[in-house]
Amino acid sequence: MSHPAHPYANQRIGLATIHAKEQAIAPPFRRLLGANVLVAPEVDTDVLGTFSGEIQRTDELTHTAVLKAEMAFTTMDVDCAIASEGSYGPIDKVPLNAGGVEIMAFVDRKRGVSVVETMLTHRTNWRMWRFRPGDPLVPVAAKALGFPTYGVFVMTNSDFSRPVKGLETIEQIVAAVDREAKRSADGLALMIADMRAHRNPTRMKVLRALGWKLAKRLANLCPKCGTPGFGHIDSRRGLPCGGCGQPTHYIHFEIDGCRACGHAVARPRKDGLQTAPKLACQPCRQGAAAAVHR
Ligand SMILES: [Zn+2]
Ligand SMILES: [Zn+2]
C-alpha cells in the first residue's frame, strides 16, 4: 500500500541516530507514506542521552526526542526529521520486573508541526547486577543478558557517567568488571544491558512497532487542511457516574486534532463505556461510607 498523493511521498526525511534505527523506521515510512528515511550525517545523538538507572519521565523523553530530531536539520537539507528516545528500568523498584517507554518524535519544520508517538513495553532484556572483583557469576550474568547477540555495559557503581561500551568477549567483560569495581567508591561494578538499538534486538523490535505507529499516524491527513498527522491529541475526563450522574475522573471522550490548523473532533471512548462505576465517584463513595457508619 503506497500513497502517491501523500505530502511526504518521495520526500527525504532525516533520522538522527547513530544506532542504526533506520532499520526499524525506514520500512514503514516507505510503505505507508512513500517517504525515504535517511540517517542524518554527523549527528552525535549520544550527547543528549544519559543513563539514570530508572525509567525517565515521558515529558523529559519527548523534549529530548524533539531536540534530537531538530539536530538532523543542522546537517541535512530536509523539511522533516525523526528521532527516538527510550528509557528502561525496574518497574515499581522491583529489579526483575523491568519495562520501558519509547518515544518517537517527528518534526515537520516547513509546516511547523511535530507529532510524537509513545509506546510502553514490558518486552525487554533490561537487567542490572552489581559485582565485586573476581565474582564467578559475571559470565553467567552476561549470558543471561543475551551476550554476545545483545550488548553489555559495565560501569563503576559510584559513577554512571562513563559506561564501558564495545565489550566483545566474556574475557573483556570480566576484566572491565574487575577494573571498574576497583575504581568505585563502594568496590562494586555495575553490569547492565546495552539498550542501544543496534546492540539490542528486542529494543529494535519495539522501535519497529513504534515506527509503524508513527507512520500510520502521519498517513492520516487533516480533513480540513491536509497536514499529515491528524489523530489523538487529548482526552477529556468527566465520564458521568452511573449512580448520580456527576462527572468522574474517567475519560469521557477522546479528541483527534490537527497541530497545524487546530481543527479537532471529539470521539467517544473506544470501549463504548457510557457511565463510570460508582466506585470512581467521590460523592457516591462518601455516601456509601456514610451509610455504613450510620
Ligand atoms: Zn489541519
Ligand atoms: Zn456518583
Ligand nearest the Cα of residue 7 is 1
State the distance from the centre of ligand 2 to the C-alpha of 237, rounded, in angstroms. Answer: 15
pTM here is 0.86
State the distance from the centre of ligand 1 to the C-alpha of 217, rounded, in angstroms. Answer: 14
Cell output for 36: 525515504
Q: What pLDDT is attached to residue 47? A: 58
Q: What pLDDT is attached to residue 291? A: 72
State the distance from the centre of ligand 2 to the C-alpha of 276, rounded, in angstroms. Answer: 8
State the distance from the centre of ligand 1 to the C-alpha of 232, rounded, in angstroms. Answer: 13
Ligand nearest the Cα of residue 279 is 2
State the distance from the centre of ligand 2 to the C-alpha of 48, rounded, in angstroms. Answer: 47
Q: What pLDDT is attached to residue 294? A: 63
Q: What pLDDT is attached to residue 109? A: 96
Q: What pLDDT is attached to residue 52? A: 60
Averages of pLDDT over runs of 10 residues in the chain (294 residues) are 78 92 96 96 67 77 93 95 92 78 96 94 92 97 96 92 91 97 95 92 96 97 96 94 94 94 94 92 83 68
State the distance from the centre of ligand 1 to the C-alpha of 265, rounded, in angstroms. Answer: 11
Q: What pLDDT is attached to residue 48? A: 54
Q: Does domain 128-193 have CATH number 3.40.80?
A: no
| CATH for 12-123+197-219 (3.30.300.30, 2.60.120.10, 1.20.1250.20, 3.90.950.10) | 3.90.950.10
Q: What pLDDT is attached to residue 168? A: 95
State the distance from the centre of ligand 2 to the C-alpha of 281, rounded, in angstroms. Answer: 5
Residue 171 carries which side chain, given as an amino acid letter?
E
CB 118 within 8 A of CB 105: no
CB 86 within 8 A of CB 129: no
Q: What pLDDT is attached to residue 276? A: 94
State the distance from the centre of ligand 2 to the C-alpha of 46, rounded, in angstroms. Answer: 51
Distance CA 43, CA 91 (A): 32
Domain boundaries, the chain: 12-123+197-219, 128-193, 231-293
DSSP output for the chain: ---TTSTTTT-EEEE--SS-THHHHHHHIIIII--EEEEPTT--GGGG----SSPPPHHHHHHHHHHHHHHHHHHS--SEEEEEEEEEEEETTEEEEEEEEEEEEEEETTTTEEEEEEEEE------EEEE-TT-TTHHHHHHHTTTTTS-EEEEETT-TTS-B----SHHHHHHHHHHHHHHSTTS-EEEEE---GGG-HHHHHHHHHHHHHHHHHHHSBPTTT--B--EEEEEEE-PBBTTT--B-SSEEEEEEE-TTT--EEEEE-TT---SB-GGG-HHHHHHHHHHHH-
